[in-house]
Amino acid sequence: MTQPPYPPFPPDAASQPVMPGCWWHPNRPTGLRCTRCERPACPDCLREASVGSQCIDCVQAGRQQDRTHQVQYRRAGYGARTLVGARPVQTPVVTPLLIAVNVIVYVLTAYQSGDPMNNQRSEIYQYGSLQSLAVSGLDEWWRLLTSGFLHAGIIHVAVNMFSLWILGRDLEPVLGRVRFLALYLLSLLGGSVAVFYLENPILPTVGASGAIYGLLGALLVAVLRLKLNAGGVLLTIGLNIVITFTIPNLSLWGHLGGLAAGALVMGLLVYAPDKGKAGWQTGMLLAVLVALAGLVFFRDAQLGEALCGVYEGQIYCAA
C-alpha cells in the first residue's frame, strides 16, 4: 500500500531575508524605497513622483528647492510679465487700501461735522480741500494732494469708491502695485493742477474723481495698445464727461486733467523701450512729476501778482 507523499517541510523562518523597517516607522517592515534617497519607506511615507515614489523628506526638500529657484529666476528678471513689464498680481492690494483711506477720511470728517451729509464743516475738510488762493497765498501745498482724499457727502464717496474698485481690480493686476499707485497719484495731481489753473480760485474742490478719470484714461490706452475693441471704454468716458457737464458742482477741469494725466502716464508705461524698461519708466514718471510741479510754481507766480492780502483768515485778490 502506497502512502501519499508528505507535504514539503515549511521553510525555516530564520533562513528568510529580513525586510528593513521604514525609516520613519521602524516597526513596519517594508520592501519599498525612496527613488531619490533610497531609504526604506512604508506606503504611508511615500508620495508618487514623476519617476517612482519619493519619501516625505525628499518631497519637502524638492519643494523648497523649487521655491528657491523661482525666487532666483524672478530676481534675475525672468518670468511672466505684463504689457508694462510688471509681474502679474493675483490679488489687488493697493486698490482696497486706497478705498480704505478715502472711507476713513470721510468718516473722520463726518464725525467732526456731526452730519454725514454735510461734512464740509469739519476741520479736516476745511484744511484739506483744494482752494487755489490758499495754496498760493498761504503756501498750503498739501491741498493739491489731500483734496483727492476728501469727499462731500456719503453719495460722493460711495460713487467714487465703487468706480475705484471696478477700475482698480482690472488695472492693478496689469500694472503691478507700484506702477498702479504711481498712476493713481499722478492722475490725482494732474486733476489738481488743472483745477489750480482753470477753476475758480476761491471755490473749494474735493474728490478722487481726478484720479479715477486718470484710471479711465489709462484703461483706454491699455486697450488701444493691446488692439482690443475700445468702444466700451470710449462710451464710458463719454458718458462720464456728459454727466460732468450736466450735474452742477462737478469739477470739469479736475476730471479732464486727471483723464489726460492718466492717459499720459499709461502711454509712457506701455511704450517704454523694452531694454531697461523699468529704468525708463521710472525716469519718465519722475519727469511728469517735475513737469506738474513746474506748472504749479508757474501758476503760483501768476496768482501771487493778483493776490492783495489776507485778512482775518480770508484771502482777497484783485483780478
Catalytic residues: 209, 255
Find the angle CA(202)-CA(208)-CA(237) to the nearest 5 degrees.
105
Report the relative pairing of strands 314-317 and 307-311 from DSSP bridges.
antiparallel
Q: Which amino acid is at 281?
A: Q
Find the angle CA(122)-CA(127)-CA(133) to the nearest 5 degrees.
130
The H-or-E segment that residue 68 falls in is helix 56-75
| CB distance 30 to 22 below 8 Å | yes
Nearest to 213 by CA among 172, 169, 251: 251
Those residues whose C-beta lies under 8 Å from the C-beta of residue 213, and which sit 6 or more positions away, are 187, 191, 240, 255, 256, 258, 259, 262
Residue 108 neighbours by CB distance under 10 Å: 16
CA distance 47 to 241: 61
Q: How is residue 298 written as a grid cell?
A: 508757474
CA distance 306 to 264: 32
Q: How is residue 201 written as a grid cell?
A: 480760485
CA distance 229 to 263: 17
Those residues whose C-beta lies under 8 Å from the C-beta of residue 50, and which sit 6 or more positions away, are none
